[in-house]
């Protein structure tokens, strides 16, 4: 097999033996009299000088240690209260939410993707939480925000934020994934990095009152109630149908995310949390819950977020985000610094329960090893996995495959296509492949 | 405190007496937070309970003709959706791709593999329920002024769209009385399937993989990879990764290196500077005043992109004052026939700030 694979993937032209780039030759000439220059001239230091070329080192040691920098010898800055809210280091500005060029025409009905390639653990920093707006976002005065519960209830009620925040609350960690996450991968590879292939997923701790608490308080009709409709207060007044079992199970009417109030672009001051279900159901700026006995066929469950099947039908109300995983480092359009050891790391999640196991392959799915799961392992939450890998510098194809607590195994893209065709946009949870080329660059490929 | 206690005791007795309803509800009624919130008034419920279900529960009485709808459409909808709902400029097209046979059969043939008669899927090809169209126009349209249409205007605009799709004749008047008849002509009314396993959390799913561990069967072909021309389509990836750690972002402004890893120059680490905050203020104004509904920062939408305006007036001495005036007054003819409405709500200082931002390059 490895012969077949390398035939196909060994497309990178290897450099001739003893090759040095013109820049490298110039470096070597300049440094001839130095310690490293001597090593280079002898041909022994090529590899050492490349991936880590910035670590120029004199014979007696490294400047970073031997010469004391300003931050060690000077006075530091005053408490960081310029605007009273801390920000990431200026060295971290590359990790940002970004749009995918050409994906949407209007910024108010658009997406910004979470930079999964640079995140750690399972919690998404609130400022990097992905965004999806249908009609722009608002920063609503919380003292004027109201939640109404109406329909098949004994008491149609109105709650202020004061009322809601006095109720018994829960804090739970859950992932939220847009139903269209990884949509581009239904067809051919179109986007370079994990930010754009998988960045419409985030994971946070949400705090709020259980929806079941509110429905009990309002005396919902246990015999007749089959569904609830959740509705937003913004211009789009997003509406989604949720079945009553789900509503009474683990849905949260949430005001907080990661220890502070929700960010405005994520629904401040109130949003619905529907664990395991696609993000469109997590209605932002939540203003109304209606208890009913029929599905509502709202725009986003009758025109969008429906699965186009090969026979021309559409599956409606397919909201579960099934088991999925992706390697975040190394991932698309990253470049490895050198051969040798890597801690391959990634994320796994399931809308049906918790992650039981993640396997990783470095040979395009021929052989698999089980990864280490880093705690915590929580239901309907991101789970971090790691696995050791020593790269020999030859082309390799990295994949991860998650298995959840129901025993469901994350499928390959051809298995998904065999059932659902290629016209679908939503609910693409296939195994992702990253090709590591001999030049160290990683690229998005489809291998199954 | 005493009275609350009395009330909840009474509620328990009442609910126990009425029926053997679940214990949960009795518990909730005794819960100390039971009376948090207040009853909604009927006017409040009426104001917010606007949803219309497929069985037309919630649909207010009213009527609107195709021609009344067309008049509204030309003023409030056509700039985004095209005069005939066909436009792909801003949103995906609404109308197109359905036939008389589809209306007869209730299934859109063009949704079958290889049978499409339109360049892309339109709304009318997919939507099975006419209630969806009515409800969505009523709650969310027009795009930059949702919920401003009257009930009769919503009927009219819905009728106009239905006539474009030849579901109703051009002299039709749609009303709460005849909408159920129209439902029977929706081209894709039989095209939806409810697939419960992907609706229920405890469902089983429809695609099966097995967790093979050794010598698994694979097709050792790279079936798809990022085309070389798309290497830089998402910007320089070196600027989208951390500058420390086991990896860097590839410098996608250059072709991929040809040398094996460790033999070429080390990947350059670049830190992108944060955007100046002055621009953020202007961009906030552009969004708040719905300017960006029609003008992209880097692209034409309905009107010209801000970058295009910046390029046109670059170096012109009076550009700032000229543009300040144009922003306030609107007009048509400079960039095409679609008129830009006057922006009376915009403060002069804000109009000036936007004009200055454009003259400075609109970045």
Identify the band that residue A27 occupies on the pLDDT scale cut at 50, 70 and 90. Answer: low
Other CB atoms within 10 Å distance of the CB of residue B247: 23
Q: A188: distance to nearest CA of chain B, Å?
A: 6
B115 touches chain A (CB under 8 A): yes
Out of B45, B233, B272, the one facing A150 most closely (by C-beta) is B45
Contact list in B for residue A133 (CB cut-off 8 A) is none
CA distance B213 to B125: 44
Q: What pLDDT, on the 0 to 100 scale, is given for residue A52?
A: 45
Q: What pLDDT, on the 0 to 100 scale, is given for residue B13?
A: 44
- pLDDT over threshold 80, residue A205: yes
Q: Given an 8 Å threshold on Cβ–Cβ distance, is A313 in contact with B213?
A: no
A444 touches chain B (CB under 8 A): yes
Percentage of chain B surpassing pLDDT 90? Answer: 58
B245 touches chain A (CB under 8 A): yes
Out of A109, A302, A444, the one facing B132 most closely (by C-beta) is A302
CA angle A345, A87, B358 (to 5 degrees): 105
**pLDDT top residue among B338 and B323:** B323
**Inter-CA distances, B129 with A180, B54, B175, Å:** 23, 6, 15
The distance in angstroms from the start CA to the end CA of chain A is: 13
Q: A22: distance to nearest CA of chain B, Å?
A: 9
**pLDDT top residue among B272 and B222:** B222
CA distance B301 to B294: 5
Identify the band that residue A108 occupies on the pLDDT scale cut at 50, 70 and 90. Answer: confident
Torsion of the alpha carbons at B67, B72, B73 and B75, rounded to the nearest 10: 130
Contact list in B for residue A186 (CB cut-off 8 A) is none
Q: Give residue-wise pLDDT tens across range A219-273.
A: 999 999 999 999 999 999 999 999 999 999 999 999 999 999 999 999 999 999 9
Percentage of chain A surpassing pLDDT 70? Answer: 87
B250 touches chain A (CB under 8 A): yes
Q: Given an 8 Å threshold on Cβ–Cβ distance, is A313 in contact with B191?
A: yes
B255 touches chain A (CB under 8 A): no
Name the 3-class secondary structure at B238. Answer: helix
Percentage of chain A surpassing pLDDT 90? Answer: 82
**Inter-CA distances, A441 with A196, A296, B284, Å:** 17, 48, 38
Mean pLDDT confidence for B61-88: 95
The interface residues of chain A toward chain B in range 196-235, judged by CB-CB distance below 8 A, are 196, 213, 216-217, 219, 222, 229, 231, 235
The interface residues of chain B toward chain A in range 146-185, judged by CB-CB distance below 8 A, are 146-147
Backbone angles phi, psi at A383, to 5 degrees: -130, 130
Q: Given an 8 Å threshold on Cβ–Cβ distance, is B128 in contact with A53?
A: no
Out of A219, A335, A438, the one facing B248 most closely (by C-beta) is A335
Contact A159, A146 (CB under 8 A): yes
Contact A443, B227 (CB under 8 A): no
- pLDDT over threshold 70, residue A76: yes
Identify the band that residue B89 occupies on the pLDDT scale cut at 50, 70 and 90. Answer: confident
Mean pLDDT confidence for B52-68: 98
Task: Read off the tokens for A40.
Answer: 């280079």
Q: How many CA atoms lie within 13 A of A79 on its CB side?
A: 3
Q: What pLDDT, on the 0 to 100 scale, is given for residue A44?
A: 37
Mean pLDDT confidence for B251-279: 81
Q: Which of B306, B317, B321, B287 is nearest to B358 (CA)?
A: B306
- pLDDT over threshold 80, residue B348: yes
Task: Read off the tokens for B312.
Answer: 């046109």
Task: Read off the tokens for B245.
Answer: 């750690």
B7 touches chain A (CB under 8 A): no
Mean pLDDT confidence for B11-38: 62
Task: Read off the tokens for B239.
Answer: 């600027």
- What's the mean pLDDT when you consider all of chain B? 87
CA distance A224 to A239: 21
CA distance A392 to A340: 6
Those residues with Cβ within 8 angstroms of residue B10's Cβ, 6 or more apart along the chain or in another chain? none
Q: Which of B299, B137, B121 is nearest to A298 (CA)?
A: B137
Q: What pLDDT, on the 0 to 100 scale, is given for residue A56?
A: 57
Q: What pLDDT, on the 0 to 100 scale, is given for residue A416?
A: 96
Beta strand pairing status for A314-316 and B192-194? parallel
Q: A415: distance to nearest CA of chain B, Å?
A: 7
For residue B41, give the DSSP letter: P
Q: How many CA atoms lie within 13 A of A257 on its CB side?
A: 26
Classify burial at A30, counting beta carbons within 10 Å of its beta carbon; exposed 0-12, middle 13-18, buried 19 or more: exposed
Q: How many CA atoms lie within 13 A of B247 on its CB side?
A: 29
For residue B240, give the DSSP letter: G
CA angle A144, A148, A154 (to 5 degrees): 145
Out of B57, B207, B272, the one facing A419 most closely (by C-beta) is B207
Classify burial at B164, counting beta carbons within 10 Å of its beta carbon; exposed 0-12, middle 13-18, buried 19 or more: buried
CA distance A438 to A440: 5
In total, the C-beta contacts within 8 angstroms joining chain A to chain B are 434
Q: Which of A3, A233, A235 to mutate to test the interface with B (most CBs of B within 10 A)?
A: A235
Contact A231, B51 (CB under 8 A): yes
Peptide bond connecting A330 to the previous residue in cis, omega within 30 degrees of 0: yes
Out of A102, A105, A414, the one facing B90 most closely (by C-beta) is A105
Contact list in B for residue A394 (CB cut-off 8 A) is none
Identify the band that residue A63 occupies on the pLDDT scale cut at 50, 70 and 90. Answer: very high
**pLDDT top residue among B301 and A90:** A90
Contact list in B for residue A295 (CB cut-off 8 A) is 54
Mean pLDDT confidence for A3-16: 39
Mean pLDDT confidence for A399-417: 97
Q: A14: distance to nearest CA of chain B, Å?
A: 6
Mean pLDDT confidence for B105-131: 94
B268 touches chain A (CB under 8 A): no
Contact A256, A249 (CB under 8 A): no
- pLDDT over threshold 60, residue A43: no
Identify the band that residue B279 occupies on the pLDDT scale cut at 50, 70 and 90. Answer: confident
Q: Given an 8 Å threshold on Cβ–Cβ distance, is B226 in contact with A168?
A: no
SS3 for chain A is: CHHHHHHHHCCCCCCCCCCCCHHHHHHHHHCCCCHHHHHHHCCCCHHHHHHCCCCCEECCEEHHHHCCCHHHHCCCCCCCCCCCCCCCCHHHCCCCCECCCCCCCCHHHCEEECCHHHCCCCCCCHHHCCEECCCCCCCCCHHHCEEEEEECECCCEEEEHHHHHHCCCEEEEEEEECCCCCHHHHCCCCCCCHHHHHCCEEEEEEEEEEHHHHHHHCCECCCCCCEEEEEECCCCCCEEEEEHHHHHHCCEEEEEECCEECCHHHCCCCEEECCCECHHHCCECEEEEEEECCCCCCHHHCCCCCEECCCCCEEECCCECCCEEEEEECCCCEEECCCEEEEEEEEEECCCCCEEEEEEECECCCCCEECEEECCCCCCCCEEEEEEEEECCCCEEEEEEEEECCCCECCCHHHHHHHHCCCCCCCCCCCCEEEECCCCEEEEEECC
Mean pLDDT confidence for A127-137: 95
Backbone angles phi, psi at A5, to 5 degrees: -60, -45
Task: Read off the tokens for A415.
Answer: 């298995």
Backbone angles phi, psi at A307, to 5 degrees: -100, 115
Q: Given an 8 Å threshold on Cβ–Cβ distance, is B193 in contact with A192?
A: no
Q: Give residue-wise pLDDT tens across range B297-336.
A: 777 777 888 888 888 888 888 888 888 888 888 877 787 7
Q: Considering the entire predicted model, what is its pTM?
A: 0.84
B201 touches chain A (CB under 8 A): yes
Identify the band that residue B10 occupies on the pLDDT scale cut at 50, 70 and 90. Answer: very low
DSSP code per residue over B195-230: -GGGTSTT---S-------SS--------EE--GGG
């Amino acid at each position: 097999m490895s012969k077949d694979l390398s035939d196909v993937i060994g497309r990178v032209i290897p450099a001739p033996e003893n090759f040095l780039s013109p820049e490298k030759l110039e470096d070597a000439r300049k440094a001839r009299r130095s310690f490293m220059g001597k090593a280079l001239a002898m041909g022994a230091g090529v590899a050492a000088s490349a991936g880590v070329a910035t670590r120029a080192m004199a014979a007696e040691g490294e400047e970073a240690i031997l010469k004391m920098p300003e931050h060690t010898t000077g006075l530091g800055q005053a408490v960081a209260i310029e605007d009273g809210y801390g920000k990431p280091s200026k060295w971290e500005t590359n990790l940002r939410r970004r749009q995918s060029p050409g994906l949407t025409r209007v910024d108010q009905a658009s997406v910004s993707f979470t930079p999964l390639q640079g995140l750690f653990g399972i919690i998404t920093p609130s400022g990097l939480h992905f965004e999806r707006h249908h009609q722009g976002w608002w920063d609503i005065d919380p003292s004027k925000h109201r939640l109404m519960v109406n329909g098949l209830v004994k008491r149609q009620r109105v709650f202020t934020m004061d009322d809601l925040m006095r109720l018994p609350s829960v804090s739970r960690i859950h992932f939220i994934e847009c139903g269209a996450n990884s949509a581009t991968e239904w067809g051919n590879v179109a986007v370079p990095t994990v930010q754009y292939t998988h960045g419409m997923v985030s994971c946070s701790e949400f705090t709020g009152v259980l929806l079941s608490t509110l429905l009990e308080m309002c005396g919902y009709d246990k015999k007749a109630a089959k569904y609830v409709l959740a509705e937003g207060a913004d211009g789009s007044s997003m509406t989604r149908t949720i079945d009553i079992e789900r509503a009474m199970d683990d849905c949260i009417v949430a005001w907080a995310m990661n220890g502070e109030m929700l960010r405005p672009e994520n629904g401040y001051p109130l949003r619905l949390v529907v664990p395991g279900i696609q993000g469109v159901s997590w209605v932002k700026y939540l203003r109304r819950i209606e208890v009913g006995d029929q599905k509502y066929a709202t725009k986003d469950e009758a025109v969008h977020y429906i699965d186009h099947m090969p026979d021309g039908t559409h599956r409606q109300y397919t909201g579960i985000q099934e088991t999925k995983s992706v390697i975040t480092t190394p991932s698309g359009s990253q470049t490895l610094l050198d051969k040798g050891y890597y801690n391959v790391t990634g994320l796994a999640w399931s809308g049906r329960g918790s992650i039981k196991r993640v396997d990783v392959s470095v040979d395009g799915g021929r052989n698999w090893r089980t990864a280490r799961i880093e705690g915590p392992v929580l239901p309907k939450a991101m789970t971090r996995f790691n696995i050791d890998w020593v790269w020999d510098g030859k082309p390799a194809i990295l994949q991860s495959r998650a298995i959840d607590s129901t025993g469901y195994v994350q499928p390959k893209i051809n298995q998904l296509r065999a059932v659902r065709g290629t016209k679908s946009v939503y609910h693409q949870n296939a195994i992702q492949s990253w090709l590591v080329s001999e030049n160290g660059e990683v690229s998005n490929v489809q291998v199954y | 405190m005493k009275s609350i206690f009395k009330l909840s005791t009474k509620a328990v007795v009442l609910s126990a007496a009425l029926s053997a309803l679940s214990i949960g509800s009795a518990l909730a009624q005794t819960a100390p937070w039971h009376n948090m919130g207040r009853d909604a008034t009927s006017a409040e419920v009426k104001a917010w309970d606007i949803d219309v279900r497929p069985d037309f529960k919630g649909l207010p009485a009213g009527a609107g003709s195709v021609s009344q709808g067309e008049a509204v459409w030309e003023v409030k909808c056509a700039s985004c959706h095209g005069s005939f709902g066909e436009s792909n400029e801003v949103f995906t097209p609404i109308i197109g791709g359905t036939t008389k046979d589809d209306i007869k059969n209730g299934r859109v043939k063009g949704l079958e593999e290889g049978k499409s008669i339109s360049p892309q899927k339109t709304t009318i090809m997919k939507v099975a329920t006419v209630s969806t169209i009515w409800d969505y126009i009523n709650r969310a349209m027009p795009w930059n002024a949702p919920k401003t249409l009257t009930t009769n205007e919503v009927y009219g605009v819905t009728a106009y769209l239905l006539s474009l799709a030849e579901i109703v004749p051009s002299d039709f008047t749609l009303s709460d009385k005849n909408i159920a008849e129209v439902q029977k002509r929706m081209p894709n009314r039989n095209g939806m399937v409810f697939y419960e396993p992907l609706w229920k959390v405890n469902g089983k799913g429809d695609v099966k993989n097995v967790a093979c561990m050794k010598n698994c069967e694979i097709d050792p072909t790279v079936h798809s990879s990022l085309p070389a021309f798309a290497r830089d389509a998402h910007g320089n990836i070196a600027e989208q990764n951390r500058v420390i750690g086991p990896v860097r972002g590839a410098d996608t402004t250059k072709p991929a290196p040809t040398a094996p890893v460790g033999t070429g120059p080390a990947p350059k680490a670049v830190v992108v500077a944060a955007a100046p905050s002055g621009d953020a203020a202007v961009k906030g104004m552009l969004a708040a005043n719905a300017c960006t509904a029609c003008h992209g920062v880097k692209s034409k939408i309905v009107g010209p992109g801000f970058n295009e305006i910046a390029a046109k007036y670059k170096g012109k001495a009076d550009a700032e004052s000229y543009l300040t005036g144009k922003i306030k007054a609107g007009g048509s003819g400079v960039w095409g026939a679609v008129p830009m409405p006057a922006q009376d709500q915009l403060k002069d200082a804000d109009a000036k700030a936007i004009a200055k931002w454009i003259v400075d390059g609109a970045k």
